[in-house]
Structure 1
Amino acid sequence: MFKLGGSRTFSPNDVDEDDDDTSYSKRTAHQDVYLWPSLSDRDRQVIRDAFFQISRRTCIKFEELDYKPWYHADRWQEDKPYVVIKKSKKFSGYTDNNIEDVTQRSLIYLSEKALNEENFNNSRGMVMEQLLRYMGYREEYLRPDAASYIQPKKKIKIKKAIPSFSEEQLQWPFDPESITIPSQARNWYTVTLYCNGREDKDIGNGQRAGLLTRWDAVKLNSMYCPHMVGFADPTKGPCVVKRKGKKKNDFRI
């Protein structure tokens, strides 16, 4: 199986081709990870912080292992899949490959744009989105019902295949603040009358802050560990229920 996708710029005049994510596949919640040796110290800091933020609110864990070369026995253990994370100048995406019918190796390509974003929190948020896309979590703005809650301020042509969503993600309400929605999306989209619980400026809050929203956590835990969901009312999503007072620490670590 081969999966590879274009980087997200999410601007109306510059959206790259992307034939990624047309199928949904469930992975294990625990992922053994090797970081490619050429990643810089700053790259590693962003990636490790992204791992931490994901694990804080979900059962998903990316466990970093000491890097081993290709020929090392640890990378040839039968039925012990692993992930290698690299940086790409041109795209973000991932590949899944069976190695000599022994084990599965996945490559995650994080975009240089995400890792080099000047604002650290925003950089972490972009990396979190790319990691979670590998885990099967899809972009909220591409949901079948998204158009009911956000509309483009002007015509936007998104050149990408519509991904397949998990039932677990779609059973919960649309979230305009999701980590999957690019931080600059508030410049291109406006909320509709069916999303009066949030304002235009709230679109993409999660990725700007580099944090999962409550509804991101609910959806991800529904996918991988339903026992961790706790109480959540799907009729009281973020587009329905306004915050009780706008607090500066809504998206604080």
Structure 2
Amino acid sequence: MMRIDKLLGHSGYGTRREIKVLCRHGDVTVNGAACTDSGVKVNPAADTVAVRGEVVQYREFYYLMLNKPAGVVTATEDKRSETVLDLLPPLFRAARLFPVGRLDKDTTGLLLLTNDGAWAHNIITPKNSVTKVYVAETEGDVPADLNERFAAGIILADGLQCLPADIRQIRENTFEITVCEGKFHQVKRMCAAVDLHVTALHRRSVGALALDESLAPGAYRMLADKEVILPLLGQ
């Protein structure tokens, strides 16, 4: 059972105060009967709740993929820059979605968002070694032993040892890089350690979930039920 103001707030119908006003004005019904008390408890799975005749489609958890554009901060709020939450309808802020991991401000591509903390934790926890595939455009001379150095585990400038990673050249100075950890600026720092400067970085996939190429930069879509497990599966 759930208070109706919590259900409606989670579903994007306003603050508790705004929902209280909706109830007082008779705009909210439960199973066809007016509900004037915003503290009434309902069963989201069994009761039909409507606001001004519109049936509320309650979902406990949301799972989204976003094609993150450059220039947007991976955060729920930021005083100076636009965030990935600002790209979504108010419903998702009301449902308290948050990004799963992070992409740098200038990095583009697949970003997952959810309000399911357990699901997010299973994706980002190092013990699960979820793979992430990036395409990096670089400047600099490509070392002859590039593949071997990545496979052995790059040592960053501060002495941090990275886990073994895979790098594959797909065009001149453009590489597909697969890592299974998510340290701060990791891909850029790994490339810098072999004297390659990353000029553009795009995340292509997380686990077995690839970015939907039909999504324009800044666009998003809900994951299908069968896709929710894919970030936790191997390539």
The structure richer in helix per residue is: 1
Fold match, TM over 0.5?
A: no
Q: Tell me which structure has the larger Cα radius of gyration.
A: 2
TM-score range, shorter-chain basis? Answer: under 0.3
The structure richer in strand per residue is: 2
Query: What's the TM-score, normalizing by structure 2?
Result: 0.24
Query: What's the TM-score, normalizing by structure 1?
Result: 0.23
